[in-house]
Amino acid sequence: MALHNSVIDGYHPSEGYYECRSCRTRTVSETHLSECPDCGGSVRNIAVARE
């Protein structure tokens, strides 16, 4: 039996895509966001893969 090792994709987005959990506003930012610029609610990074 042969094992095949794959290369891990080293992709890292240069910008973060964030979505507010409260008002659902989407924002692009080059720095990490901890709160929504519109309503102050918590945000989540949607630029990362969800599996």
Q: Give tens-digit pLDDT for 1-51.
A: 555 666 666 656 667 899 999 999 999 988 888 999 999 999 998 887 665
* pLDDT at position 40: 94
* pLDDT at position 26: 94
Q: What predicted TM-score, i.e. pTM, was given to this entire model?
A: 0.65
User: Which residues in the chain belong to E strands, given as ranges?
Assistant: 16-20, 26-29, 43-45
Query: Do the beta carbons of residue 10 and residue 26 sit within 8 Å?
Result: no
* pLDDT at position 30: 87
Strand order in the sheet with 16-20: 26-29, 16-20, 43-45
User: Side chain identity at 3, as an amino acid letter?
Assistant: L
* pLDDT at position 15: 77
